[in-house]
């Protein structure tokens, strides 16, 4: 099937088969990161995922959008201007690059300014259509004034603060199921009445100095799906008891998988798919729009990793497109 993009108001659009409920995918050809061989972060994971999905049956039920690059002033809603300038100009020192875990390059800077708008575009699409999937994002270790853990800018905080500032929504829940705590998101949005941060993560994994999310659920090592599901449902219910979201940003990190290089849990493929169905159906049943973002996932086998990251997209199509 040939994929055709149409430019509409600066955004490239592909619309698949008519007459079916479509799901928006957000991606960009500049998302991949140039990295040295052997780096723990798979540099082509974004294009690998999109290539896999383009070959799948789900592409017939997808609307594919490509975000524009954000400018420095826009990103400043979530980050201090000095840090944003360092990313734009390439003036991070060696210590700052080590903390980030990525070597600065013009390509890294460019994709970072694009990716934040990708999550914002996904959120706006979800508000219109009920669900959308950003094939990147979830950079939750990025703090107000520094990057960390392979995360340059915090797309979650950026999208949430932008949407609440423009009054497109009042309340946003950030539901983070990456195996690593969303520490940067928690600190940027601390004491923000219009956001609620929930992180369900491995208690003994990075970051070792945890932040205080509005709700934190720390998990023990080697947790299997049965035990994980109990904690997941408890977290979902607690979020709804304490907060009334108009929109959910869901970090669908696949580093909970038992074969993930940086994970410490024991969730298999079936458990991963069940997690996505559990989270997505929970909010769908309540009529709350939801945008998914990629989150973490680490493997030496890039095809295997793409398959894992595709799980949340497949779950979305099963629930909304009925395939």
- What are the CA-CA distances from residue 76 to residues 17, 88, 178 (Å)? 39, 12, 25
- Give, as one character, the DSSP assignment of residue 60: G
Torsion angle in degrees (nearest 10) through CA of 272, 275, 276, 279: -170
Q: What local confidence, expressed as pLDDT, does residue 44 receive?
A: 97
Distance CA(292)–CA(174), nearest Å, equals: 10
The CATH number of 6-321, from 3.30.450.20, 3.40.800.20, 3.20.20.150, 3.40.50.720, is 3.40.800.20
Distance CA(92)–CA(120), nearest Å, equals: 26
Pairing of strands 62-66, 172-176: unpaired
Q: What local confidence, expressed as pLDDT, does residue 323 receive?
A: 80
Pairing of strands 247-251, 172-176: parallel
- Beta bridge partners, 249, equal 174, 291
Distance CA(138)–CA(156), nearest Å, equals: 7
Query: How many residues can be counted in the chain?
Result: 323
Distance CA(157)–CA(142), nearest Å, equals: 9
Give the tens place of pLDDT for each residue, 235-258: 999 999 999 999 999 999 999 999
pTM recorded for the entire structure: 0.93
DSSP-derived 3-state class of residue 188: helix
Q: What local confidence, expressed as pLDDT, does residue 250 receive?
A: 99
Q: What local confidence, expressed as pLDDT, does residue 21 receive?
A: 75
Give the tens place of pLDDT for each residue, 84-112: 999 999 999 999 999 999 999 999 999 99
Q: What percent of the chain has pLDDT over 70?
A: 94
DSSP string, 1-23: -----EEETTEEEEE--TTS--E
DSSP string, 19-72: TS--EEEE--TT------TT-SS-TTHHHHHHHHHHTSGGGGGEEEEEPPPPPH
Which sign does the torsion angle of CA 114, 147, 96, 45 carry? negative
Distance CA(303)–CA(49), nearest Å, equals: 8
pLDDT < 50 positions in the chain: 1-19
């Amino acid at each position: 099937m040939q994929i055709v993009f149409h430019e509409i108001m600066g955004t490239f659009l592909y619309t698949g088969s008519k007459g079916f409920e479509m799901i928006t995918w957000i991606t960009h050809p500049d998302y991949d990161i140039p990295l040295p061989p052997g780096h723990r972060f798979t540099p082509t994971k974004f294009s690998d995922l999109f290539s896999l999905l383009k070959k799948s049956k789900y592409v017939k039920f997808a609307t594919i959008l490509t975000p524009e690059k954000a400018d420095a002033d826009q990103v400043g809603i979530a980050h201090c201007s000095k840090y944003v300038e360092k990313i734009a100009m390439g003036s991070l020192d060696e210590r700052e690059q080590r903390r980030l875990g990525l070597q600065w390059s013009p390509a890294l800077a460019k994709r970072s300014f694009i990716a934040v708008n990708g999550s914002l575009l996904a959120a706006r699409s979800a508000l219109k259509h009920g669900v959308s999937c950003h094939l990147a994002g979830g950079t939750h270790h990025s703090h107000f004034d520094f990057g960390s853990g392979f995360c340059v800018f915090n797309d979650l905080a950026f999208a949430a603060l932008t949407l609440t500032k423009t009054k497109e929504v009042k309340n946003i829940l950030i539901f983070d199921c990456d195996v690593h705590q969303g520490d940067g998101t928690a600190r940027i949005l601390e004491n923000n009445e219009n956001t609620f941060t929930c992180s369900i993560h491995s208690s003994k994994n990075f970051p070792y100095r945890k932040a205080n999310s509005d709700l934190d659920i720390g998990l023990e090592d080697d947790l299997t799906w049965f035990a994980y599901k109990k904690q997941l449902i408890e977290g979902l219910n607690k979020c709804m008891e304490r907060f009334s979201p108009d929109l959910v940003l869901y970090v669908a990190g696949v580093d909970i998988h038992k074969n993930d290089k940086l994970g410490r849990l024991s969730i298999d493929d079936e458990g991963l798919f069940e997690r996505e169905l559990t989270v997505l159906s929970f909010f769908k049943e309540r009529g709350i729009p939801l945008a998914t973002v990629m989150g973490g996932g680490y493997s030496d086998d890039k095809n295997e990793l793409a398959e894992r990251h595709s799980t949340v997209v497949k779950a979305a199509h099963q629930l909304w497109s009925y395939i």
